[in-house]
Structure formats: C-alpha cells, structure tokens
C-alpha cells in the first residue's frame, strides 16, 4: 500500500500581484434614499504578506460629481476568495457599506488585500459613513459631499420707485442648469453688485441673494435679477430663495 501525503500551504508573495479590476453592478436593497439605486464598481488586489496588524487598515474616501470613491488597504479576507461584494444602504444622512467575501472553497488562512470601490448616485449633503467587513467596522467618519456649482448673475438698474409689489419669480431647468428670474426685488439704491450663493443638501436647494454696497444709500428700489446655477443632478428639489433673510420664493421643481 502506498500512502501519499498532500500538504496545502498558505504561503503568499510579499508584494501585491497586479489584478484586473472586476466591475459589479449591485443594487441597494433598501433603495437608497427611499427611491434611488446605487451602482457599485469594485476591484481588489491579490493576497499581500500574511504578516498583518489588525490596526493596519488605512482608508481614504472622496466625493466627486455624485460618486463616493473608497480605498481600504490591508483588509483581511480568506486566502481563497473568488470575489468581493460591496452593498451600500443609505438611510437619510447615514451611509452603511457592507463588504463581504465570496468564497466557494475557503482556504485555511487569511491575508490582507487592498479594496477599491465606488458608489454612485449620492446626493449632496453631510453624511455619517460606516463601513463593515462582515460584522467588523473597519471605517467610520463623517464626510461632506458637495459639488461645485457655478453661478452667473445679471441684474437691472434701479427701476422707477413706485409702490412695491410681490416679487415675481420664474424657474426652469435645462441640461443640468437651473435658471432663475426674480422681478421687483427690493435692494439698496446704491448696490454695486449682487451675490448669489447656492447650498444644496440632498433634495433641498437654498439660495441666498445678497447686495454688495460700499456705501449704502438711504433708499431702496426694485431690481430684476437673473442668474443660473449649474451642475444640478436630475431629480425633484425643494427650493427656497432668500434676500436679506426674507423668503422671496419657495416651491418644488422637478428637474428632468
């Protein structure tokens, strides 16, 4: 009788082996912010050195144009994984991310890997982000997700100082840009410029209009103001526009 012994080891190389990215499209089981789906794209390295430290995970997160990009270095997984799943769950201003290993035949060892992934369709706002590898939290922090919104402003000269009426407003959306027109806005007679500052938080858009004057006159007059705000994602928004603390426009608009 011949007895053959087969030894299976878990020796892994000391350096990262180049790995072709694997793209996954996964849906948030909770539908994101009630109605939105969030696609994920994931890639990960081969096993790195098995000499590891449980506190050695290094994470970085950045936001750009509606997408969050994550990098986690030295995350422990089974040596024999076939794939990695990333499932986001977004409830209000909390983003929960669960990373799971997919392994048909687990090996009897673990090793650190680097994981990169993105989550799209993230509304602007301030979020508490928690990332778990299985049941273990590997990252937790707060992040501000804000895009750059350029504004272009024009305004009329002071109009005839007649009795003031309510401000008339029109708003339209076209190709990612909101266009506003406000008629008969009361501003100081001596204004030198008009500032428009938008703030977008989730599905809320707050616009603050301010007058810029070096020397204020002792009068006000009606002025027509036109401005645009770019880089607005498709969606339904609640819009509030204020001048000197007073609301001159409030409504909901469907940007499609």
Tokens of 86: 């990333």
Q: Which two tokens stand for residue 32?
A: 């994101």
**How high is the pLDDT of residue 96?**
96
In a domain, 78, yes or no: yes
What is the per-residue pLDDT for 162? Answer: 61
CA-to-CA separations, 147 to 120, 144, 155, 215, 229, in angstroms, rounded: 14, 10, 26, 34, 12
Chain CA centroid to CA 105, Å: 37
Instruction: Say whether both 160 and 104 belong to one domain.
Output: no
CB atoms inside a 10 Å sphere around CB 112 = 22
**Residue that terminates a domain, selected from 94, 118, 145:** 145
Q: Are 97 and 44 in the same domain? A: yes
Q: CB atoms < 10 A from the CB of 26, how many?
A: 17
Listed residues 112, 145, 178: the one ending a domain: 145
Residue 224 in domain: yes
β-sheet with 193-201: strand ranges across: 193-201, 204-212, 235-243, 246-255
Residues 54 and 139 reside in one and the same domain: yes
One domain for residues 123 and 195:
no
Q: Which residues of 48-73 are buried (b: 16+ CB within 10 A; e: fewer)?
A: bebeeeeeebebebebeeebbebebb
Spatial neighbors of 55 by CB under 8 A, at least 6 apart, are none
H helices, E strands: number in the chain: 0, 16
Same domain for 160 and 114?
Answer: no
Cα-to-chain-centroid distance, residue 45: 26
Do 117 and 159 belong to one domain?
A: no
Q: Tell me, yes or no, whether 230 lies in a domain.
A: yes
Verify that 61 and 118 share a domain, yes or no.
yes
User: Does residue 14 fall inside a structural domain?
Assistant: no
The structural domain count of the chain equals 2
Residuewise pLDDT in 10s, the chain (256 residues): 444 443 434 444 333 334 344 444 444 443 344 446 899 999 999 998 765 555 589 999 999 888 999 999 999 999 999 999 999 999 989 999 999 999 999 999 999 999 999 999 898 889 999 999 999 999 999 999 988 899 999 999 998 766 667 899 999 999 999 999 999 999 999 999 999 999 998 889 999 999 999 999 999 999 999 999 999 988 899 999 999 999 999 999 999 9
Residue 84 lies in a domain: yes
Do the domain assignments include residue 96? yes
Same domain, 173 and 251: yes
Pair 158, 229 in one domain:
yes
Q: Which domain holds residue 213?
A: 151-255
In-domain check, residue 19: no
Which of these three, 124, 145, 166, is where a domain ends? 145
For residue 16, being part of any structural domain is answered with: no
Instruction: Answer yes or no: do 209 and 120 share one domain.
Output: no
* Alpha-carbon gap, residue 3 to 64, rounded angstroms: 60
Q: Structure pTM?
A: 0.65
pLDDT of res. 164: 63
């Amino acid at each position: 009788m011949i007895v053959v012994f087969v030894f299976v080891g878990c020796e892994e190389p000391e350096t990262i082996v180049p790995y072709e990215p694997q793209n996954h499209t996964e849906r948030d089981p909770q539908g994101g912010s009630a109605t939105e789906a969030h696609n994920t794209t994931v890639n990960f390295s081969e096993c790195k050195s098995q000499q590891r430290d449980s506190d050695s995970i290094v994470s970085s997160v950045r936001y750009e144009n509606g997408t969050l990009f994550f990098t986690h270095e030295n995350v422990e997984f089974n040596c024999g994984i076939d794939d990695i799943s990333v499932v986001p769950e977004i409830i209000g201003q909390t983003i929960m991310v669960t990373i799971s290993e997919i392994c048909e035949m687990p090996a009897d060892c673990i090793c650190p890997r680097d994981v990169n992934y993105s989550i799209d369709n993230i509304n602007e706002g301030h979020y508490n982000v928690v990332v778990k590898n299985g049941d273990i939290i590997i990252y937790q922090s707060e992040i501000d997700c804000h895009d750059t919104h350029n504004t272009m402003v024009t305004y009329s000269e002071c109009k005839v100082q007649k009795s003031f009426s309510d401000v008339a407003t029109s708003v339209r959306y076209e190709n990612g840009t909101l266009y506003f027109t406000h008629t008969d806005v009361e501003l100081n007679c001596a204004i030198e410029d008009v500032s428009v500052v938008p703030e977008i938080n989730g599905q809320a858009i707050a616009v603050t209009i301010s007058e810029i004057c070096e020397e204020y006159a002792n009068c006000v007059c009606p002025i027509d103001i036109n401005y645009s705000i770019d880089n607005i994602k498709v969606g339904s928004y609640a819009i509030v526009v204020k001048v000197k603390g007073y609301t001159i426009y409030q409504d909901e608009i469907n940007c499609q």
